Amino acid sequence: MALMDKHKVKRQRLDRICEGIRPPILNGPMHPRPLVALLDGRDCTIEMPILKDVATVAFCDAQSTQEIHEKETADTSLCLILNLYRRVTWMHQALREGTRASSVEQIREVAGDAARIRGETLGIIGLGRVGQAVALRAKAFGFGVIFYDPYLPDGVERSLGLQRMATLQDLLIHSDCVSLHCSLNEHNHHLINDFTIKQMRQGAFLVNSARGGLVDEKALAQALKEGRIRGAALDVHETEPFSFSQGPLKDAPNLICTPHTSWYSEQASIEAREEAAREVRRAITGRIPDSLKNCVNKEYLVAASQWPSMEVATVHPELNIASAYR
Amino acid sequence: MALMDKHKVKRQRLDRICEGIRPPILNGPMHPRPLVALLDGRDCTVEMPVLKDVATVAFCDAQSTQEIHEKVLNEAVGALMYHTITLSRDDLDKFKGLRIIVRIGSGFDNVDIKAAAELGIAVCNVPATSVEETADTSMCLILNLYRRVTWMHQAMREGTRASSVEQIREVASGAARIRGETLGIIGLGRVGQAVALRAKAFGFSVIFYDPYLPDGVERSLGLQRMATLQDLLIHSDCVSLHCSLNEHNHHLINDFTIKQMRQGAFLVNTARGGLVDEKALAQALKEGRIRGAALDVHETEPFSFSQGPLKDAPNLICTPHTSWYSEQASLEAREEAAREVRRAITGRIPDSLKNCVNKEYLMATPQWPGVDHGAVHSEHNGAAAYRFPTGLVGVTAGGLTGAGAAVEGIVAGNLAMAHGIAPMSRPPHTPSPGQPSKAETDRDMPTDQ
């Protein structure tokens, strides 16, 4: 019985191979000099030294995703928050456009809504590494920091001295400034939308250095125009590259935008590229996913059963077809 | 013998009075409803409730003493002011009855406090209300230099698009990692300390230079103290100024000291424009010796990008002297300033004052050496009557027209200063604000002759 089942699975597999569907085979044989491709960039100078003896490195320069380096992103997030409260970016812009402020009354006018920070509440959505870094920096300015994160286990808040909110609504109701630091997944597209914006405080601030898809820009534009949101600072947008002259935010006031650069610093960029190349090297020279340091789909990989209760050694000879297909 | 000396002093005093030299008389009699004037603003709505039962409040909206109405110059007992007007020795001489000046803010480099003391005028400030606002803005400027948000936003406004990673790196080029950088703070007062503690949260190593602080402050806060300015400049990746402006540190940041800074360092100034030589800074920015500068204060204010030595300098972030401002800070400062004026009017100068900045000079100015203060009063009736120049009747019981709860705006046109006070001869003194300064090696206390 067991042998018949085994053959049935194998037949299904070979059928799929012939249909052109690549089976998930971990640690199968690999080309001695496999091809590693940089998908959405052109510059491989950092990766080359790490990989050149085990792989061929190529670039595709297609359009796709970025990665985040946590400290840079946290520092930029604080910069965005401070620019909303202290209005430096807008005032610099006003000066560039020729505004002059001679008397104190004129100074007060240019400075507009510049607000005191101590006593304000910063609401962090997503208390991962970036969220935590932002929380600790914000405390130094006198922010009361609260967070919402449905994925974290109990007690994290006690380590850091933050207040945890049980629901998104609770967080929105109690925050003077909301900052997004969660990843985008199938559950939280347009997390910030017309309905949730109406749960926010009148005149609250919004900061997003996470993912554009978390925010419904049409709803945000409307809220900015009506003053329900006093100001927004966005490093990421629904459509990138962002342009002030296009899209739903085109005529929205009180906006600060940067072109998805919160992660970037020269050092972070180099480090990230080196680490990525090293991870590819580990994949090529070691075992997947055991040798990998930051495999994000490990649980799904291992669960997809391949040759149940078959040894790896017996798998190999049957896979020559597969490897050639590779 | 003592009696003869007393009479001799009195005679000298009366002689000087007749010569037109106003003696500094602290706590002499005052009009029951003295005039208090806001010199360089229009809005007294916050100050009124605090003062209206003890004073008449007026505003001048002047940018110099030339624009102040003669009535105010003659009658004002108290003055409130911001940073947009300068009171040099000559300016202070124009006031006939002034006893108290309160700066609505912390810096008082725009007032010659020593000259004021010689004239019997106490000068106070409001040092605490904008400490965190200034520190928060300073951190914001520092972060804008490192993370380049302001410049990138500007680029976006101007139409730049960044699609690929390489384009993003290009737009963000220069954006630097903060952890491990050294922030050098010049002046570790209230604001300097607040900045130091915030900067530590970002991973900055913080060093400071402050020649006025006693030993050991650095140990309380976990900062490293540098013995000289040069030491600080050599070791800093970002230099931030948080000291007040005085006669010793004009153009502290100049061609020579900039050359002691690290190649590609950042500079931040939320203190006073006079601390930085803008010509030298512009040159350093153009040559890249300074990678970027963020300035809330400038040598000439109001600042304009289209004028002055910084006109064509790259990598500049500027704001119009707003780092102190939040609505709460502004209200608190104005209330506190009004309360200080009230303390001066209803109490004793300088004992009742909370933040008198020229107290030592006031007390040092000898008035009636060895004379009992109680005895002074009765002998002063002549002097008190003199207090207002002949030709001007003392303020009437009804006070000024429209007095009482009403605020009167006294805005002057061109005024001929027509009172016969002869210029006083003074001992050598430090330069007044607004005048070119020279280094003073001789730091004697000014004394009456």
Domains contained in chain A, number = 2
**Within this chain, do residues A150 and A219 fall inside the same structural domain, yes or no?**
yes
A212 interaction partners in chain B (CB closer than 8 Å): none
Instruction: Report whether B339 contacts B55 (CB < 8 A).
Output: no
Q: Is A80 on the interface with B (CB under 8 A)?
A: yes
What is the rounded distance in angstroms from the CA atom of residue B87 to the CA atom of residue B110?
Answer: 6
Beta bridge partners of A204: A229
* Helix orientation angle between B149-157 and A88-96, rounded to the nearest 10 degrees: 50
Does pLDDT of B153 surpass 70?
yes
**Within this chain, do residues A125 and A178 fall inside the same structural domain, yes or no?**
yes
Asked if residue A16 belongs to a domain, the reply is no
Does pLDDT of A117 surpass 50?
yes
* Helix orientation angle between A88-96 and A70-86, rounded to the nearest 10 degrees: 70
- Architecture per CATH, domain B30-129+328-364, reads as 3-Layer(aba) Sandwich (3.40)
Run of H or E residues at B7: helix B2-19
Of A71, A167, A177, nearest to A128 by C-alpha is: A71
Range scoring the smallest mean pLDDT among B161-165, B203-207, B421-425: B421-425
User: Annotated catalytic, A240?
Assistant: yes
**Within this chain, do residues A185 and A78 fall inside the same structural domain, yes or no?**
yes
Interface residue of A90, A239, A261 to substitute, partner B, most B CBs within 10 Å: A261
Does pLDDT of B447 surpass 80?
no
Run of H or E residues at B292: strand B290-295
Burial class (CB in 10 A: 0-12, 13-18, 19+), A202: exposed
Q: How confident is the model at residue A33 (pLDDT cuts 50, 70, 90)?
A: confident
Interface residue of A59, A69, A89, A129 to substitute, partner B, most B CBs within 10 Å: A89
pLDDT in the model for residue A43: 76
Pick the catalytic residue: A211, A230, A281, A282?
A211
Instruction: Report whether A41 contacts A277 (CB < 8 A).
Output: no
Asked if residue A326 belongs to a domain, the reply is no
**Within this chain, do residues A111 and A172 fall inside the same structural domain, yes or no?**
yes
Most confident of A52-66, A246-260, B428-442: A246-260
pLDDT in the model for residue A52: 78
Q: Is A57 on the interface with B (CB under 8 A)?
A: no
What is the rounded distance in angstroms from the CA atom of residue B139 to the CA atom of residue B133?
Answer: 10
CATH class entry, domain B131-159+168-318: alpha beta
Q: How confident is the model at residue B189 (pLDDT cuts 50, 70, 90)?
A: very high
B330 interaction partners in chain A (CB closer than 8 Å): 108
User: Annotated catalytic, B67?
Assistant: no
Token pair in block for residue B93:
């001489």
Domain final position from A226, A242, A262: A262
Q: Per residue in B98-107, pLDDT tens?
A: 999 999 999 9
Q: Per residue in B118-130, pLDDT tens?
A: 999 999 999 999 9
Q: Per residue in A214-228, pLDDT tens?
A: 999 999 999 999 999
Locate all alpha helices (DSSP H) within B202-292, ordered by sequence: 217-221, 229-235, 255-258, 278-287
**Within this chain, do residues A131 and A250 fall inside the same structural domain, yes or no?**
yes
Asked if residue A218 belongs to a domain, the reply is yes
Q: What is the 3-state secondary structure (H, E, C) of B180-221?
A: CCEEEEECCCHHHHHHHHHHHHCCCEEEEECCCCCCCHHHHH
What is the rounded distance in angstroms from the CA atom of residue A185 to the CA atom of residue A99?
Answer: 44
- Chain A segment 128-187 residues within 8 A of B by beta carbon are 136-137, 139-142
**Within this chain, do residues A252 and A272 fall inside the same structural domain, yes or no?**
no
A144: left (phi over 0), alpha (psi -120 to 50) or beta: beta
CA distance A261 to chain B (A): 6
Find the Cα–Cα–Cα–Cα dihedral B336, B341, B346, B348, rounded to 10°: 100
Asked if residue A304 belongs to a domain, the reply is yes
Q: Do domains B30-129+328-364 and B131-159+168-318 have the same CATH topology?
A: yes
Q: How confident is the model at residue A266 (pLDDT cuts 50, 70, 90)?
A: confident
Task: Please list, in sequence order, all residues whose beta carbon lies within 8 angstroms of the beta carbon of residue B372, skipping any fewer than 6 positions away.
Answer: none
Q: Per residue in B250-300, pLDDT tens?
A: 999 999 999 999 999 999 999 999 999 999 999 999 999 999 999 999 999
**Within this chain, do residues A50 and A105 fall inside the same structural domain, yes or no?**
no
pLDDT in the model for residue B6: 62
What is the rounded distance in angstroms from the CA atom of residue A116 to the CA atom of residue B30?
Answer: 39
Q: What is the residue range of A110's domain? A: 71-262
**Within this chain, do residues A50 and A161 fall inside the same structural domain, yes or no?**
no
Angle of CA points B220, B332, B245, to nearest 5°:
60
Asked if residue A90 belongs to a domain, the reply is yes
Pick the catalytic residue: B83, B148, B242, B272?
B272
**Within this chain, do residues A166 and A252 fall inside the same structural domain, yes or no?**
yes
pLDDT in the model for residue A28: 67
Interface residue of A66, A91, A209 to substitute, partner B, most B CBs within 10 Å: A91
Q: Per residue in B26-75, pLDDT tens?
A: 787 888 899 999 999 999 999 999 999 999 999 999 999 999 999 999 99
Amino acid letter, residue B158: E
Query: Which position has the token pair 């994925």?
Result: A151
CA distance B394 to chain A (A): 32
More confident residue, A34 or A113: A113
DSSP B331-369: HHHHHHHHHHHHHHHHS-TTTT-SSBSSHHHHHHS-SST
Q: How confident is the model at residue A23 (pLDDT cuts 50, 70, 90)?
A: low
Q: Is A245 on the interface with B (CB under 8 A)?
A: yes
The SS3 of residue B134 is helix
Asked if residue A21 belongs to a domain, the reply is no
Please answer yes or no on whether A103 and B40 come within 8 Å at the CB atom. Answer: yes
Domain ranges for chain B: 30-129+328-364, 131-159+168-318
- Chain A segment 111-130 residues within 8 A of B by beta carbon are 111, 113-118
Pick the catalytic residue: A109, A240, A271, A318?
A240
Please answer yes or no on whether A258 and B320 come within 8 Å at the CB atom. Answer: no
Task: Please state, as a whole number, how many other Cβ atoms lie within 10 Å of the Cβ of residue A203.
Answer: 13
Query: Which position has the token pair 């993370």?
Result: B147
User: If you average pLDDT over every residue of chain A, what do you get?
Assistant: 83
Task: Please list, in sequence order, all residues whose beta carbon lies within 8 angstroms of the beta carbon of residue A94, skipping any fewer than 6 positions away.
Answer: A110, B320
Please answer yes or no on whether A266 and B330 come within 8 Å at the CB atom. Answer: no
**Within this chain, do residues A54 and A185 fall inside the same structural domain, yes or no?**
no
According to DSSP, residue B86 is labeled: -
Does pLDDT of A17 surpass 50?
yes
Does pLDDT of B305 surpass 50?
yes
**Within this chain, do residues A230 and A88 fall inside the same structural domain, yes or no?**
yes
**Within this chain, do residues A174 and A290 fall inside the same structural domain, yes or no?**
no
Please answer yes or no on whether B176 and A87 come within 8 Å at the CB atom. Answer: no
Query: Which position has the token pair 């009699």?
Result: B29
Q: What is the CATH number of the domain that holds A176?
A: 3.40.50.720
Run of H or E residues at B76: strand B76-81
Range scoring the smallest mean pLDDT among A238-247, A297-306, B106-115: A297-306
User: Annotated catalytic, A211?
Assistant: yes
Pairing of strands B238-241, B182-186: parallel
Range scoring the smallest mean pLDDT among A208-222, B33-47, B227-241, B362-376: B362-376
Asked if residue A11 belongs to a domain, the reply is no
Asked if residue A289 belongs to a domain, the reply is yes
